[in-house]
Amino acid sequence: MAGGVWRTTVFWITALIRPLAEAAADGEFSMTTGLEGRRVLIVEDEALVAMLLETMIEDMGCHPVGPVASVAEALDIVAKDGALDVALLDVNVAGREVFPVADALKAKSVPFVFSTGYGEGGLADAWRGHPTVQKPFTEAAIRDALRRSLGVSLV
């Protein structure tokens, strides 16, 4: 009797999963992040972290801008690029605080997320409460913070 139950269970699991797997293989359905096509400025001076963020951003279907490793370069991009959708800002970039970049983005109504090893405690008082991810972070933490900053929710 147990063998019959097992075969029936396997049959139904296979019957339910096979169409989903085939649809995914054919590109008929895909996971969406709600971030696809967004241009994301990455300001990060640590090369390995910058490469990781760039890969994460691409995996979310976004287009990375940068990464850039200096506040001056980030300010130049913000001033010249009118098509930024959101930014991810390391709080300490090459020994300088990134807050002038945050101010420039805010003036252009471009949302952003801070990234820091100190969590929200690493922010100046004026920026506390702003979307922040703490290093080390996961792709899910970055994705959720970007969604929050953009006001994107998946139902």
Asked if residue 29 has pLDDT above 50, the reply is no
pLDDT, average across residues 79-94: 95
d(CA 41, CA 74): 8
Asked if residue 19 has pLDDT above 60, the reply is no
Asked if residue 126 has pLDDT above 60, the reply is yes
d(CA 125, CA 8): 61
DSSP H helices in the chain = 2-25, 47-59, 71-80, 99-107, 139-150
Highest mean pLDDT among 3-12, 15-24, 87-96: 87-96
pLDDT, average across residues 22-50: 79
Whether the model pTM is above 0.85: no
Sequence-distant (≥ 6) Cβ neighbours of residue 96 within 8 angstroms: 70, 71
Instruction: Return mean pLDDT, the chain.
Output: 85
